[in-house]
Amino acid sequence: MEMKGKTVVITGGANGIGAVTARLFGKKGAQVAILDYNEIAGEELASEMHAQGIEAAFFKTDVAKRNQVKETAEKVLAHFGKVDVLINNAGITRDAMLLKMDAEIFQQVIDVNLTGVFNCTQAFLPAMIAAGKGKVINTSSIAGTGGNVGQTNYAASKAGVIGMTRTWAKEYGRKGINVNAVAPGFIETDMISTMPEKVIMQIKQVTPFSRLGKPEDIANAYLFLASDASDFINGTVLEVDGGMLK
Ligand code: NAI
């Protein structure tokens, strides 16, 4: 699955799954736009990729801020001239049981994980439609398909992402745009680094492969959905969780 000549936008591209994805797409020949609000990590990654001869550029952006996203889309298009793939990967967690969840942290997670995906897709989709082809890949979660204790806000945002994915697949398929989602299981990144060891053990016990996922497992799923190999796949949610028992 080559990405030669394709321009790929990866939100939350400075760390975790996004950074591994940026490196993988770069190795496959893509020009990579890394969007993130973490400037230090984002600039570092772009220079690391540059040093390897990959065309990568970092654009400081908070996906929850509509104006910033709009400005960034203009900058990305001015820099690379086009966008072939948008990976809406940026996401956060702010966990608490329902009765202890402040309205503020509920909203914060919705703003990034749900509204952020809306903002970025609205900003980048017109260029894909003009080109007559494009791939949008949204990041959901198994918390979005099955719910998860302590994650009212996160599960709501990730279920919402699935709703938007299926809607956009129906709205823009006829314009040559594929819109799909990936629903990761538990993946070894900073996001789950504060989870108690006991819970990690329990997750491994209910995963047939007896391990957590690696960022590469998700990056490979993104690559498939970004490539021509998935041209007839639209509106689907690809669960990448090692077959975890639910
Ligand atoms: P991470 O915390 O390692 O990386 C997330 C990246 O998104 C960071 O670089 C962060 O700076 C960036 N980011 C956060 N808010 C942002 C904002 N408002 N604007 C721009 N950038 C922002 O997380 P990870 O694990 O790599 O997660 C990537 C995606 O995968 C997220 O959407 C997450 O919800 C999803 N996911 C992760 C799972 C896991 O177990 N790690 C499980 C299921 C889904």
Q: Which residues of the chain have pLDDT under 70?
A: none
What does each C-alpha distance from 174 to 129, 159, 228 come to in angstroms? 10, 24, 17
Residue 186 confidence (pLDDT): 97
Which among 124, 111, 99, 110 is positioned nearest to 10, based on CA atoms?
A: 124
Under 8 Å CB-to-CB from 152, ≥6 apart: which residues?
96, 98, 101, 106
In short, whether 38's Cβ falls inside 6 Å of ligand 1 is yes
C-alpha 174 to ligand 1 mean position (Å) = 31
134-139 and 177-184 strand pairing: parallel
Token pair of 205, please?
């016990």
Residue-wise pLDDT for 205-222, tens only, equals 999 999 999 999 999 999
CA distance 95 to 124: 30
What are the DSSP calls for the chain, one per residue? ---TT-EEEEETTTSHHHHHHHHHHHHTT-EEEEEES-HHHHHHHHHHHHHTT--EEEEE--TT-HHHHHHHHHHHHHHHS--SEEEE-------B-GGG--HHHHHHHHIIIIIHHHHHHHHHHHHHHHHT-EEEEEE--HHHHH--TTBHHHHHHHHHHHHHHHHHHHHHGGGTEEEEEEEE-SBSSGGGTTS-HHHHHHHHHTSTTSS-B-HHHHHHHHHHHHSGGGTT--S-EEEESTT---
Q: What is the pLDDT of residues 106-133, one digit of tens each?
A: 999 999 999 999 999 999 999 999 999 9
The rounded Cα 132 to chain-centroid distance in angstroms is 22
Residue 224 CA from chain centroid, whole number: 14
The ipTM assigned to this model is 0.99
Ligand 1 in reach of 63 Cβ (< 6 A): yes
Q: Are 94 and 57 in contact (CB under 8 A)?
A: no
Ligand 1 pocket check for 190: Cβ under 6 Å: yes
137, 225 contact by CB (below 8 A): yes
Q: What is the chain's Cα-based Rg?
A: 17
Q: How many angstroms separate the CA atoms of 213 and 203, rounded? A: 11
Q: Residue 1's pLDDT is what?
A: 83
Q: Which domains does the chain have, with CATH numbers?
A: 7-240 (3.40.50.720)
Q: Is 153 in the pocket of ligand 1 (CB under 6 A)?
A: no
Nearest to 123 by CA among 167, 88, 74: 74
Catalytic status, residue 154: yes
Rounded CA gap, 184 and 191, in Å? Answer: 12
- Among the atoms of ligand 1, which is closest to the Cα of residue 191? 2
